[in-house]
Structure 1
Amino acid sequence: MKKVFLFGYYGFGNLGDELLCAYYTSLLGAHFPELKLIILRDKPNEQEIEYKTVSRWNLWQLSKMMAPGDLLVGGGGSIFQDATSKRSLFYYLALLRLAGWRRLEIILAGQGLGPLSSLGRRLVGPYLNSALGISCRDQWSLATLVEMGVNRPLLYLGVDPLWDFQAPELLFKPAKRRYRPSALGFFFRKEERNRKQRLLFRLKLRFEGLRLITLFPEDYPVAEVVSQEIGASPPLLLTEVRGLAAIAPELTMVIGERLHGLLLAAKYGLPGIGLSNDPKIKAFCQQMEWPCFSWQDLCVENLMVMAIEEVLSDLGSAEQQVLQKRTEMEKKAREERDWFLQLIEQTLVK
């Protein structure tokens, strides 16, 4: 029985990455039941019976499990970057090298590339050229591949895979929401705390409601302190989609430092604004035609307030635009899914 090894930033508690893991697990299991699915996680789940999980860190164990003709599938995320961790990048490159040594076919799906240092680009390019196919979730990531000289794999420009994610909580059509006027959701990261505190305090004074939302456990303690300091309600730590489903009807719009927070909010029909130095947030906002600001922008607090007021001044049009974009992005995600499945089918018949 051939095996498919699925990897990503799985097992660390980040809601977006856990949803990506669930998406690809369901997709592969439904379309290729003849394959043995093995998921690489931070810590294996011994109670899982539908598929096998193994420690991502035990490369020696993985090498013994891998055999020529097996598949290594990278399932979404921004794993090939060295802005937050060079150690993480070296791990993924070691995994690709191991797969090449064991003569596995490599498919990387729904990838966000970068940010990468000049050294990172020189290291990553040759490894990615060993892949059979790579799909990118935005134009910026595809351009990064081209700049690094990655030209051997089949390349596909798609969107984030979670546009195709069909959890029960995301199947409803947004109806008239029961929000208070100007109720803002803020997807929070722990960085830039001092500047963020000033911005959030100003937003709380200017608009009626403000709720900090975290998708990653490491962000929550800082969000809790900041909420107390500005006199806001306690933050939310979302570990499941249903948590966002519960609060979405109360929100008018969202501000996002987390890509998948913005994406999930858009699936609920909520308008948004990006706020991050990370190019993946800017790329997503360009796809959605949303405003996006960086902490490096001068007078970013003023820019944010003006952008929020502009959205609220014609909220109906903003909501309609989100629904139109959602339809467009979900269609592109289905097309990318078909490309991904077809590539695996072609690989299996070799």
Structure 2
Amino acid sequence: MKVVISGFYGLGNTGDEAILESIVDNLRAELDNPEITVFSLSPIETAKTHNVKSVYRGWRHENKEKIRALRKADLLISGGGGLLQDTYPTKIIFGPLPYYLLIVLLAKLCGTKVMFFSQGIGPVNTKYGKLLMKVFANLADLITVRDEYSKELLHKLGVNRPKSIVTSDIVFGFVPKEDRACLDSLPLSEEDMKRVVSVSVRPWFGRTEHYSEMADILDRLLEEKDVIPVFVPMEGHHDVKASNLVIEKMKNKNKVHVLDGNFTPNQYLDFIGRSRLTIGMRLHSLIFATLKGVPHIGISYDKKVESLLKRSGMWDYSFRLEEVDTIKLVNNAIEILDNHNHFSTAVSQNAHELRSEAIRNVDLLREYFVK
């Protein structure tokens, strides 16, 4: 079977690279010798990392190669991740929403089947975005989404022709491999990891309040529980910068560590899995924590984060970005740390169900598209 994968690949985002690795690994595990081509912003690196064919994803180069790959393909996998949204500027053919839907249109014009694979849909707020979804998303042959909210939004947008099935984020199908690279890069021991709180912060449209809030939270936890905060930058230099902005505001700067921004998804996953607690903004930092049975507190800037936290069982201890109560969050963190085994067991049980749902994405692909 020949498959083309279209997503936010080759841009250094840990969550999206984990999505790609999980899709590729699971396709190879479940299909008979699939031939895989990935549309990537860094095609040479993507091809080398995943042992796949790769074509430049943008419109500036290799458009004939895109058409050639789609004509040869049996299926376009669009996803996973939060591709179909207009949070970022959207004009004519520019922005994520028109880009990914134009790839879908191109695939259909080439006679290729299309599956939206483990996607998180939205937000879609503009009239243009809603029109694009109603016209082009209905071209898909099958849609799987990672949460109930995404399915409901599709129906509100008038995307009803293809069947939509709720599964979970394909990263829950990720196969972890032990890799101590992150831990070995820090002056910490295995014993120290019992005190580590993994922290994920990100920039968010010019907002800065959350940097001060996180600084206050970590200072309080340092004083009350003697934790070791370690920032895990899930999107390279963007998150390294955000982490340093938090540290600048802390009283206990010398007790905090920041991981390098160039580790692999599996290496970050391994590190988060060794920590005691994760406090995260990035969706996939929280998915990594869930996958490894690590209790976590999320700071939700988007419905996709809230949806995940409800499924992992940690929403009652988490906050929306604009509603963070630093004292309550610290108290929640202390409760979790003091009852670690209870929370870890509950998260692990939920992760087991989410993993089954993630693997179902590939089962459905095989059921609908493999003859």
Task: List aligned pairs for 1:249-288, cutoff 5 A.
Answer: 249=274, 251-288=275-312
% of aligned pairs identical?
Answer: 25
Q: Tell me: CA distance 1:264–1:118, structure 2 relative to 1, closer, same or farther (3 Å).
A: same
Q: Tell me: CA distance 1:25–1:69, structure 2 relative to 1, closer, same or farther (3 Å).
A: closer
Q: Which residue of 1 aligns with 2:270?
A: 245
**Distance in 1 (alpha carbons) for counterparts of 2:63 and 2:346:** 46
The alignment's TM-score, normalised by the length of structure 2, stands at: 0.83
2:165 to 152, 156, 162: 156
Shift of 1:181: 7.0
Q: Which residue of 1 aligns with 2:146?
A: 137
Cα deviation digits, residues 221-264 of structure 1 (max 9, x gap): 23234324421523123433224424543x32111111111111
1:11 is paired with a residue whose SS is coil
Letter of the 1:137 partner, please give it: R
Q: Which residue of 2 aligns with 1:219?
A: 239
**Distance in 1 (alpha carbons) for counterparts of 2:85 and 2:26:** 26
Q: Which residue of 1 aligns with 2:71?
A: 67
**Distance in 2 (alpha carbons) for counterparts of 1:343 and 1:300:** 47
**Distance in 2 (alpha carbons) for counterparts of 1:258 and 1:300:** 19
2:256 to 200, 215, 233: 233
Structure 1: unaligned runs, 5 residues or longer: 171-176
The list of structure 1 runs, each at least 4 consecutive aligned residues, that deviate by more than 4 angstroms after superposition, is 179-182
Structure 2: unaligned runs, 5 residues or longer: 180-189
2:8 is paired with a residue whose SS is coil
The alignment's TM-score, normalised by the length of structure 1, stands at: 0.88
**Distance in 1 (alpha carbons) for counterparts of 2:342 and 2:73:** 51
Task: List aligned pairs for 1:68-107, cutoff 5 A.
Answer: 70-86=74-90, 87-107=95-115
2:71 is paired with a residue whose SS is coil
Letter of the 1:333 partner, please give it: A
- What is the root-mean-square deviation in Å for CA atoms of aligned residues? 2.4
Q: Which residue of 2 aligns with 1:23?
A: 22
Shift of 1:148: 1.2
Shift of 1:17: 0.9
The answer to whether 1:321 aligns with 2:346 is: yes
1:103 is paired with a residue whose SS is coil
Q: Which residue of 2 aligns with 1:56?
A: 57
**Distance in 2 (alpha carbons) for counterparts of 1:153 and 1:89:** 18
Q: Which residue of 1 aligns with 2:187?
A: none
1:198 to 191, 212, 216: 212
Shift of 1:323: 1.5
Number of paired residues? 337
Shift of 1:211: 1.9
1:129 is paired with a residue whose SS is helix
**Distance in 2 (alpha carbons) for counterparts of 1:337 and 1:111:** 13
The answer to whether 1:296 aligns with 2:310 is: no
Q: Tell me: CA distance 1:135–1:316, structure 2 relative to 1, closer, same or farther (3 Å).
A: same
Task: List aligned pairs for 1:162-201, cutoff 5 A.
Answer: 162-169=171-178, 178=191, 183-191=196-204, 194-201=208-215
Shift of 1:26: 2.4
Question: 8 Å contact 1:12–1:42 — kept in the other structure?
Answer: yes
Cα deviation digits, residues 157-206 of structure 1 (max 9, x gap): 10111111113239xxxxxx845676422111123663223222222221
Q: Which has the higher contact order (CA 8 A, sep 6+)?
A: 2
